[in-house]
Amino acid sequence: MTAQASTGGAPSKLRGPLATLRELFLRNLRQSGIFIAFVAIVALFAILTDGTLLSPGNITNIVLQFSYILVLAIGMVIVIIGGHIDLSVGSLAALAGAVSAVLVIKHGMPWWVGVLAAIAVGVLAGAWQGFWVAYVGIPAFITTLAGMLLFRGLTYSVLENISLSPFPKPYQNIGNGFVNGLLGGNGYDLFTLVIFGVAVLGYWFAQFRARRAAISYKQTVAPFGLFVVKLVVVGAVVMWFAWQLAHARGLPIVLIILGVLIIGYTLITTRTVFGRHVYAIGGNLTAATLSGVKVKWVNFRIMLNMGFLTGVAGVLFSARTNGAQPGAGNLFELDAIAASFIGGAAVTGGVGRVVGAMVGGLIMATLSNGMQLMGIGLPMQQVVKGVVLLLAVAFDVYNKRRAGAVR
Amino acid sequence: MANNILEMHGITKAFPGVTALSNVDLLVREGEIHAVVGENGAGKSTLMKVLSGVYPYGTYDGDIIFDGEHARFHSIKDSEHAGIAIIHQELALVPYLTVAENIFLGNERIGQLHLIDWNRANKEATALMEQVGLHENPTTPVSQLGVGKQQLIEIAKALSKDVKLLILDEPTAALNDSDSEHLLELLRMLQKRGITSIMISHKLNEIEEIAERTTILRDGKTIETIDMNDKDSTQDRIIRGMVGRDLKHRYPERIKHEIGEEKFRVENWTVHHPTQPGRIVVDNASFYVRAGEVVGIAGLMGAGRTELAMSIFGRSYGRNITGEVYKDGELISTRGVAECIAHGIAYVTEDRKRYGLNLIEDVRRNISAAGLLKLVTRGWVNRNEELKVAEDYRDSMNIKTPTVLQTTGNLSGGNQQKVVLSKWMYTDADVMILDEPTRGIDVGSKYEIYTIVNKLAAQGTAVIVISSELPELLGVCDRIYTLAFGRITGDVPVKEATPESLMRLMTLEPKRSSTKEPAQAGAGKGKS
């Protein structure tokens, strides 16, 4: 058996640190590009607004204002990786909020009944759409377009065409409240700093463990110096962010919810069988089917999960606006879809990351907020956001063409 | 000495990180049939892309002189205009358009008021089809024709553009023997009309039969151009040039081992066509494989080979499937793919790009795709272990890629096939169905794949190889079943089999005694 073709030759595993760095950067060009763009946009608006953008109060505002879009974007990016789309999330978020409002405001039930009911509405609607998409085989575009009309109609009839307001204080706090003063502090909230400090330590610990495991499996890792620099920079940015929050009103409750969801879904998409199957389906449906992926069941769960997160977003939005309106959530789906695509998800499916979608969402948020601070009107804001979305996807297409040429 | 219609001098083409072509020369004489051979990744396709303007002038170094003039093609349009037509491995026809619409796509026959003159288009299409020996209605949608005929339509399309140089990239890879023969005949006829052809092919018999001269590429360099009329221009010499070493045998020695007990048995398997009710694709097929045995399934295109395999593998094809599957003597259910994998059955698909791989994903995750559950502890995928598994397979299967984090679509065909094989070997299957495992890959990789098949068998795996290349089956199998029109017509030990005897069984038509319609042979079996 001397079939070893000696042409080519195995490339050496020993590379200089620079080559490694370059490789790591190029491999993640799609993601790195988005981070660089985000930093650039933040810097641009920080200068244009004389620093108002990064003031403690404004940062808190951005978090409160865009949390529900980010929650939706988590679900949306998974839907898009699987090769689908969901146009119904705006209507469904409105319906979830409306049901909650009817139970809590009209019928005087406790606030937590409203929360559970809203999430239940989301899950049920997700199961409904999952059934049509996965088991009947209706394209998600059509199914959710129908859902968009259906849920909007139900919202109007549940609310009997009028707005309901206000929610009791605990419910409002989900969207507007802060954890503040638990540990005291002088002019700043110590608790916020502690929570973020713990998070940073946890992140460092996880990174160290991953690095140790990678080394024990003889993988190429970034040089140690660079690794430490990365950890320090990330830690510093996060702690600076915490410092700003602590100086304003403390730790927003939505941020806690959002943080848990982001960490949870990052793990689900990268580390579980379900997550990997989503990527497989989006990348090549037939190959996935023939590799033993239960495509229908995975698709059903993708839509079910989107419904669940939409329910959560419905709670956040109704709590933030302190009520339910028949027309709420209009165009949320487009913001969530845009966030996913700006964050590097591929139009054809199979590619995308939760963190990417979050950065994509934050880019949209920074653009809106920055332009608001500068006094640029809504019409112009829309124009700019549209152009950014187009450019982001154009970058993706260009990237892919370049990758395709390397053969 | 005839004139050179094409001279490519010192062509060098580099991509970031790889030099695909370095200083390649290719001289093609007017009116000849010129073969270009080389292992996958040797640079044949890149060279043709440079020639046809896919890589525009300025993105490569070197000169192209076509028809006496310096050629500077900026796009395919430019090269087409100069009289170069390229016919790709993957056919570029629009399935739902008619034959005439496809032939004149981008080159429409315009009549009055700038509207398309359909009468003229259909008439000219018929004439062009006659030139390539095709007698079809020009208004037939292309999707209704077999692959062989579609290929001819591609050639007719090229003829419609007054082609001087026809480039065919693996034209017979997807064709059965009679269609291939017909295509080669057509090339000879075009040659008489003065059309020069460049043919990229892995089939050395064909090249010996048809080409006047052959240029051999290896690792992006021209090795030599040989005159096929010379006495010493043998297939062995070509192979030596391609792989850079002597390949004494096309098939590796079998590893001596005992053939064990019956491992896998299929009884009375009948499959109906998924959309055409009443059409039987697989008719009452029964076969078995023993542990450590390599069994071949030989059949012409349309005989139902892939349909048989796919219907067994989790009922991935067809409807109204009846019959039983036994594994280790026990009746098993094969309703879903996951269930089959759990039973230790693997199916390596025929079309690796469409059915076998996630091309936008990296090599590592393609290898783990089917056996992912093995990497899971408490619900989490062990990513480090996954990487290790992938690197182990890269080494043991000799997958040529700088890193397993490479996107699979960037690998050459032979290496992609090794990725698919790795994926299924990782599921620990002890019944492996390999569907055309060496289609479209080069001689060196083929040899490696055959070696892997031998190793699998020596480890006690029951291997089923589906192939349309009879020498391949005779080279690797212990026993060969013949499949004709959906029925198993023979079970021949390889010692008693000859290509002729197998071909006779493969063309055995069913008796018309039953009331059922006989299964259609499908693509390209007509008298085209």
What is the average pLDDT across B270-294? Answer: 88
Q: Which two tokens stand for residue B386?
A: 């996954």
- Count each helix (H run) and each strand (E run) in chain A, helices first: 16, 2
* Higher pLDDT pick, B522 / A103: A103
Measure in Å the smallest separation between the Cα of B255 and chain A Cα atoms: 9
Q: Which residue, among A20, A29, A290, A401, would best test binding to B if mutated, counting the most B CBs under 10 Å from its CB?
A: A290
Q: Tell me how far apart the alpha carbons of residues A290 and A286 are, in angstroms, rounded to a whole number.
A: 6
Average pLDDT, chain B: 85
Closest CA to B368 of B393, B340, B334: B393
Q: Decide if B356 and A273 are in contact by the 8 Å CB cutoff.
A: no
CB B282 within 8 A of CB B308: yes
Which chain B positions have a beta carbon within 8 Å of A6's beta carbon? 244-245
Which chain B positions have a beta carbon within 8 Å of A271's beta carbon? 380-381, 383
Edge-to-edge strand list for the sheet holding B18-29: B18-29, B4-15, B61-66, B69-70
DSSP-assigned beta bridge partners for residue A324 = A164
Q: Which residue, among B372, B416, B427, B452, would best test binding to A if mutated, counting the most A CBs under 10 Å from its CB?
A: B372
* Angle, helices A253-271/A273-283, rounded to nearest 10 degrees: 70
Mean pLDDT by 10 residues, chain A (407 residues): 37 49 59 79 91 88 90 97 96 96 94 96 97 96 96 95 92 87 74 90 90 78 83 91 87 92 94 94 92 94 97 96 92 92 88 92 92 90 89 76 50
Residues in chain A: 407
Q: Which two tokens stand for residue B189?
A: 């006829």
Q: Tell me how far apart the alpha carbons of residues B391 and B245 are, in angstroms, rounded to a whole number.
A: 27
DSSP label at residue B184:
H
Q: What is the predicted pLDDT for the residue at B9?
A: 92
Q: Tell me how far apart the alpha carbons of residues A221 and A207 are, in angstroms, rounded to a whole number.
A: 12
A217 touches chain B (CB under 8 A): yes
Please give the backbone phi and psi of residue B63, each rounded to the nearest 5 degrees, phi first.
-115, 145
Q: Which residue, among B19, B251, B337, would best test binding to A if mutated, counting the most A CBs under 10 Å from its CB?
A: B337
Which chain B positions have a beta carbon within 8 Å of A11's beta carbon? 402
Q: What is the predicted pLDDT for the residue at B524?
A: 38
B372 touches chain A (CB under 8 A): yes
* Sign (positive or negative) of CA dihedral B75, B76, B80, B84: positive
Task: Measure the CA angle with vertex B430, ends B429 and B436; round to 5°.
Answer: 75
What one-letter code names the amino acid at B36? V
List the single residue in B15, B218, B219 with the smallest CB-CB distance to A405: B15
Strand B4-15 and strand B18-29: the pairing is: antiparallel
A161 touches chain B (CB under 8 A): no
Q: Tell me how far apart the alpha carbons of residues B164 and B166 are, in angstroms, rounded to a whole number.
A: 7
* Sign (positive or negative) of CA dihedral B404, B410, B414, B419: positive
Q: Tell me how far apart the alpha carbons of residues B327 and B342 are, in angstroms, rounded to a whole number.
A: 12
Q: Decide if A3 and B252 are in contact by the 8 Å CB cutoff.
A: yes
Query: pLDDT tens-digit profile of B64-114?
Result: 999 888 888 988 888 888 999 988 766 678 888 999 999 988 888 888 888
Complete domains list, chain B, with CATH? 4-243 (3.40.50.300), 261-344+429-519 (3.40.50.300), 355-428 (no CATH)
Q: What is the pTM of this model?
A: 0.77
Q: Tell me how far apart the alpha carbons of residues B69 and B89 are, in angstroms, rounded to a whole number.
A: 28
Which chain A positions have a beta carbon within 8 Å of B407's beta carbon? 403
Q: Decide if B380 and A272 are in contact by the 8 Å CB cutoff.
A: yes
DSSP string, A169-226: HHHHHHHH-EE-SSS--SSS-HHHHHHHHHHHHHHHHHHHHHHHHHHHTT-----HHH
DSSP string, A326-380: TTTTTTHHHHHHHHHHHTT--TTSS---HHHHHHHHHHHHHHHHHHHHTT--HHH
Which chain A positions have a beta carbon within 8 Å of B17's beta carbon? 406
What is the average pLDDT across B299-324? Answer: 87
A4 touches chain B (CB under 8 A): yes
List the single residue in A4, A292, A406 with the smallest CB-CB distance to B337: A292
What are the residues whose beta carbons fall under 8 Å from the beta carbon of B36, sequence distance 6 or more? B26, B44, B47, B48, B198, B199, B200, B214, B215, B217
Q: Decide if B444 and A5 are in contact by the 8 Å CB cutoff.
A: yes
Q: Which residue, among A284, A402, A406, would best test binding to B if mutated, counting the most B CBs under 10 Å from its CB?
A: A284
Q: Which two tokens stand for residue B447?
A: 């040899």
B249 touches chain A (CB under 8 A): no
Residue B513 above 60 pLDDT? no
Residues in chain B: 528
Which residue in chain A is spatially nearest to B396 when comparing CA positions?
A: A4
Please give the backbone phi and psi of residue B240, each rounded to the nearest 5 degrees, phi first.
-60, -45
From residue B141, how far is each of B95, B99, B137, B148 by CA, in Å? 7, 6, 9, 15
Q: What is the predicted pLDDT for the residue at A197?
A: 92
What are the residues whose beta carbons fall under 8 Å from the beta carbon of B471, sequence distance 6 or more? B250, B499
The end-to-end CA distance of chain B, in Å, is 36
Which chain A positions have a beta carbon within 8 Å of B357's beta carbon? 284, 287
Which chain A positions have a beta carbon within 8 Å of B252's beta carbon? 1, 3
Q: Decide if B383 and A271 are in contact by the 8 Å CB cutoff.
A: yes
Q: What is the predicted pLDDT for the residue at B301?
A: 65
**Which run of H or of E encompasses B450?**
helix B443-458
What are the residues whose beta carbons fall under 8 Å from the beta carbon of A324, sequence distance 6 or more? A94, A97, A98, A100, A101, A102, A105, A159, A163, A164, A165, A318
Cβ-based contacts under 8 A for chains A and B: 126
Which residue in chain B is spatially nearest to A287 when comparing CA positions?
A: B355
Q: Tell me how far apart the alpha carbons of residues A229 and A347 are, in angstroms, rounded to a whole number.
A: 34
A27 touches chain B (CB under 8 A): yes
SS3 B15: strand
Which residue in chain A is spatially nearest to B402 when comparing CA positions?
A: A11
CB A84 within 8 A of CB A140: yes
Q: Decide if A291 and B244 are in contact by the 8 Å CB cutoff.
A: no
Q: Decide if A3 and B451 are in contact by the 8 Å CB cutoff.
A: yes
Strand B61-66 and strand B4-15: the pairing is: antiparallel
Q: Tell me how far apart the alpha carbons of residues A243 and A312 are, in angstroms, rounded to a whole number.
A: 28
What are the residues whose beta carbons fall under 8 Å from the beta carbon of A244, sequence distance 6 or more? A54, A55, A56, A59, A60
Q: Decide if A406 and B17 are in contact by the 8 Å CB cutoff.
A: yes
Task: Measure the CA angle with vertex B215, ends B214 and B216; round to 5°.
Answer: 115
Q: Tell me how far apart the alpha carbons of residues A229 and B144 are, in angstroms, rounded to a whole number.
A: 62
Q: Tell me how far apart the alpha carbons of residues B413 and B441 are, in angstroms, rounded to a whole number.
A: 6
Residue B194 CB coordination number (10 Å)? 10
Q: What is the predicted pLDDT for the residue at A365?
A: 92
What one-letter code names the amino acid at B159? L
Confidence of residue B514 (pLDDT cuts 50, 70, 90): very low
List the single residue in B17, B370, B379 with the smallest CB-CB distance to A291: B370
Which chain A positions have a beta carbon within 8 Å of B361's beta carbon? 279-280, 283, 350
Q: Decide if B423 and A286 are in contact by the 8 Å CB cutoff.
A: no
